[in-house]
Amino acid sequence: MENMENAGDEISSLRKMIAEYERLYRVENAPAISDAEYDRLLRRLRDLEDAHPEFYSADSPTQKVGDDASSGFEKRAHLSKMLSLDNAFSFEDLKEFDERLRKAIGSSKSLKYVVEPKIDGAGISAVYENGRLSRLLTRGNGSVGDDITRNASVIKNLPFELKGDNIPEILEVRGEAFMANSEFDKFRARQEAEFAKSEQAQFEGQEDEKSPKKLRLYANPRNLAAGTLKLLDKEILAERSLLANFYSIGKIEGAEILFQSGLAKFLKSLGLPSVNWYAIAFGIGEAYQKICELDKERGTFDFNTDGAVVKLDDMSLYSLAGWTSKFPRWATAWKYKPARAKVRIYDITLQVGRTGAITPVAELEDAQKEGERLPVLLSGTNVSRATLHNFDEIARKDIRIGDVAEIEKAGEIIPDVVRILPECRKENSESYAAPKYCPKCGSSLVRNAGEAVLRCINPECPEQMRRRIVHFASRSCMDIDGLGDAVVSQLASLGILKNFADIYSLNADDLYKIKNFKQKSAENLLLAIQDSKKRDLWRLIFGLGIPYVGERAAKDFALAFKSLDSFMNADMKALSDISGVGERIIFSVLQFFKSGENLRIINRLRESGLNFKAEEASQSAVFGGKIFVLTGTLSSMGRSDAKRLIESYGGRVGSGVSKSTDFLISASESSSKLDRARELGVKILSEDEFLAMLKEAEVSAGFGVKSDEKPKIAKKENSFLQNSSGQMSLFDF
């Protein structure tokens, strides 16, 4: 039994750690640990919380349901809730599931189960009305998903019309959209070819520069599938190809399906793709056997499976079995252990990021062939490096140079060092000491309070400057096509590019100094640089590379301050008025604009004629000048997001209902505000009505995708690492 105090401490430190990893993943698109490691931490936290309910907190990461909502897509409610499944990691977990279920339905006999593969894809829900596909939604938060119907054609085996004589009037089917492994291999080959092209110009002797890019080059098929469903760019969409597999029914009218074991056949009779592999098991012991059989076979499937699903066969018992707040009680998901391999860590190298963060990377070789520096083969790919994330992780796992370690790959292409094998440790091995000096410029490294990372804070660190220029020109910022890592590296080492303001002084002669650079490329690059001057203000703010200011914060600032100058002049008070902007960001912004060097660079950007102003907020007829008040909790977005949206269309948000209130957005059955609104005759909007108004304003303002600008969604390496379950608001267009 764990000591109470220790458990409390561990719970609170796990919560902090998980929240920070989630933030890095979601907000900064810089995952610091693998999904598998994240799951392990979350599971540890859940176990501790279960054992110590006295530490319950509604803010715990275990209490939050993931959400894949993103911008550019309309929100729609599912006809019936789309729940996820609870996980089983051991036979004990399975037995507990079986016992709970038998108790709930009052059965003392063995239950009949169906076991099927759990495809590692993105959850989708398709609704057919009288046989026609009427909408396709993502899982979203389980109640409301993104309407991705316009992208349905990317799922090649998804029928727009059902077939057969047994077509239900309404059919809501749930499944996974995924990219077949063979398709993913082709995709990776294309990416590699692109990578090789940009690599051609790479300098010799900068071999370590390839690695960070390579580490982020590939996504896993799951993230790629999730990103593909949300593509706004038809051209990119046309190059992709996904498949779907349906495994359950949400709502059905005009037909009846009684047994899970008959579902696949039923769906196939309608022309819907469904599982080809399933097994029937009597009792949980037999279900476990089937899970093991499936484990042997799943390697031959053309898609990734991360587990098996065990479902009660008799669907008439589902309502009796019931649901918890998050999961149905009649099904559970078995998680297979990811593939592992033994490696020797022959070195730990260091990378310097654009904000000076130092990332340790393990250099790996096949443990069987010590000293030969051969990569190890793990689930079909050669692995020679793994990120160690940060120095706390190294200390936590006591990773040392020369150690033999187990690495694993869950869904990811990037492997994770799971554990060190102490029995293989050499006698003379020493603990790894975190570096004191920047490997690139030699200045002392600093660790900020509350942070896991070590940073080089030398503003003139050449590596940071190079990375900052790359970031500024990247697709997610100023989007200067042709100014990638390789070109920036060359121009930086020639002394032509010292900071990103220098980009706008580049001329053709400078560009001809780049190895193998053709005239046409130089012309195109100069045009792209000119073109980038018109970019939206938020792109410029993001591109400045202010520490902790990610894309989301940059958009918030652009919206709130309307111009770079008012943003630069904003004081503590003005910055803290923006919801969602924390102390750390505020401090970082204030620091950034205190630096004479930064101000000098910004002035040069101004002189080069870059756009420093946000586009005027689109006054919408429905929102302009109107006063809104909110009551209750909206299911589709947070209060601050709703506020921002209303304000972005020229409306205002008041705190209490008065005679001057135009609308009360009510997401609660009863509240004093609701009573007051009725009394005063204020128009009351339901959440759906509010969403419809937003939609209308969005259309009339031409919001979302602007005609002169291609949507920037997941084309390049890094964006694939975006979290598919990241909670983003409608506002994040």
Cβ-Cβ contacts under 8 Å for 600 (sequence gap 6 or more): none
> How many residues bind Zn ion, per CB under 5 A?
6
Tell me how far, at minimum, the Cβ of 613 lies from Zn ion, in Å.
Answer: 34
Residue 331 phi/psi, 5-degree rounding, is -150, 155
Nearer to Zn ion, 201 or 441 (CB): 441
Nearer to Zn ion, 436 or 573 (CB): 436
What is the sign, positive or negative, of the torsion defined by CA atoms of 463, 468, 469, 470? positive
Q: Where are the beta strands (DSSP E) in 254-357?
A: 279-282, 305-312, 331-335, 339-352
Cβ-Cβ contacts under 8 Å for 544 (sequence gap 6 or more): 472, 592, 598, 602
Tell me how far, at minimum, the Cβ of 418 lies from Zn ion, in Å.
Answer: 31
**CA 283 vs CA 97, 109, 294, 296, 380: distances in Å:** 12, 8, 17, 21, 35
Nearer to Zn ion, 114 or 461 (CB): 461
What is the pattern of x (binds Zn ion, CB under 5 A) and - over residues 403-442?
-----------------------------------x-xx-
Nearer to Zn ion, 315 or 456 (CB): 456
Tell me how far, at minimum, the Cβ of 690 lies from Zn ion, in Å.
Answer: 49
Restricted to residues 581-600, the positions that interact with Zn ion (CB under 5 A) are none
- Whole-number Å distance between alpha carbons of 339 and 377: 11
Nearer to Zn ion, 141 or 351 (CB): 351
- Whole-number Å distance between alpha carbons of 589 and 571: 10
Cβ neighbour number for residue 66 with a 10 Å cutoff: 17
Residue 516 DSSP one-character state? T
Restricted to residues 372-401, the positions that interact with Zn ion (CB under 5 A) are none
Residue 116 phi/psi, 5-degree rounding, is -140, 160
Find the helix or strand (DSSP H, E) in which 677 lies: helix 672-680
What is the pattern of x (binds Zn ion, CB under 5 A) and - over residues 459-498?
--x-------------------------------------
Tell me how far, at minimum, the Cβ of 24 lies from Zn ion, in Å.
Answer: 21
For 577-631, where are the alpha helices, taking DSSP H only?
583-592, 596-607
Burial class (CB in 10 A: 0-12, 13-18, 19+), 464: buried
Nearer to Zn ion, 6 or 444 (CB): 444
What is the sign, positive or negative, of the torsion defined by CA atoms of 473, 474, 479, 483? positive
Restricted to residues 57-116, the positions that interact with Zn ion (CB under 5 A) are none
Nearer to Zn ion, 463 or 641 (CB): 463
Restricted to residues 111-170, the positions that interact with Zn ion (CB under 5 A) are none
Cβ neighbour number for residue 22 with a 10 Å cutoff: 21
Tell me how far, at minimum, the Cβ of 455 lies from Zn ion, in Å.
Answer: 9
Q: Say which residue the tokens 């291609």 belong to.
A: 710
Q: What is the largest CA-CA distance in the chain?
A: 83
118 tagged catalytic? yes
Tell me how far, at minimum, the Cβ of 440 lies from Zn ion, in Å.
Answer: 5
Q: How far apart are the first and last CA of the chain?
A: 49
Tell me how far, at minimum, the Cβ of 28 lies from Zn ion, in Å.
Answer: 20
Find the helix or strand (DSSP H, E) in which 663 lies: strand 663-667
With CA atoms as reference, report the closest residue to 650 among 688, 683, 697.
Answer: 697
Restricted to residues 446-465, the positions that interact with Zn ion (CB under 5 A) are 456, 458, 461
Would you say 631 and 666 are in contact if contact means Cβ atoms under 8 Å apart?
yes
From the list 109, 112, 118, 311, the catalytic residue is 118
Tell me how far, at minimum, the Cβ of 442 lies from Zn ion, in Å.
Answer: 7
- Whole-number Å distance between alpha carbons of 387 and 202: 22
Residue 29: CA count within 13 A, CB half-sphere: 18
Cβ-Cβ contacts under 8 Å for 690 (sequence gap 6 or more): 634, 642, 665
Nearer to Zn ion, 245 or 359 (CB): 359
Cβ neighbour number for residue 269 with a 10 Å cutoff: 15
Tell me how far, at minimum, the Cβ of 595 lies from Zn ion, in Å.
Answer: 16
Q: Which two tokens stand for residue 352?
A: 């310097």
Tell me how far, at minimum, the Cβ of 247 lies from Zn ion, in Å.
Answer: 51
Nearer to Zn ion, 458 or 723 (CB): 458
- Whole-number Å distance between alpha carbons of 156 and 172: 19
Residue 544: CA count within 13 A, CB half-sphere: 33
480: left (phi over 0), alpha (psi -120 to 50) or beta: beta
Restricted to residues 661-720, the positions that interact with Zn ion (CB under 5 A) are none
Q: Which residues pair with 563 in a beta bridge?
A: 613
Nearer to Zn ion, 421 or 446 (CB): 446
Nearer to Zn ion, 439 or 638 (CB): 439
Cβ neighbour number for residue 142 with a 10 Å cutoff: 17
Tell me how far, at minimum, the Cβ of 118 lies from Zn ion, in Å.
Answer: 45
Tell me how far, at minimum, the Cβ of 494 lies from Zn ion, in Å.
Answer: 20
Nearer to Zn ion, 354 or 552 (CB): 354
- Whole-number Å distance between alpha carbons of 410 and 178: 16
Catalytic residue numbers? 118
* Interface with Zn ion (CB under 5 A): 438, 440-441, 456, 458, 461
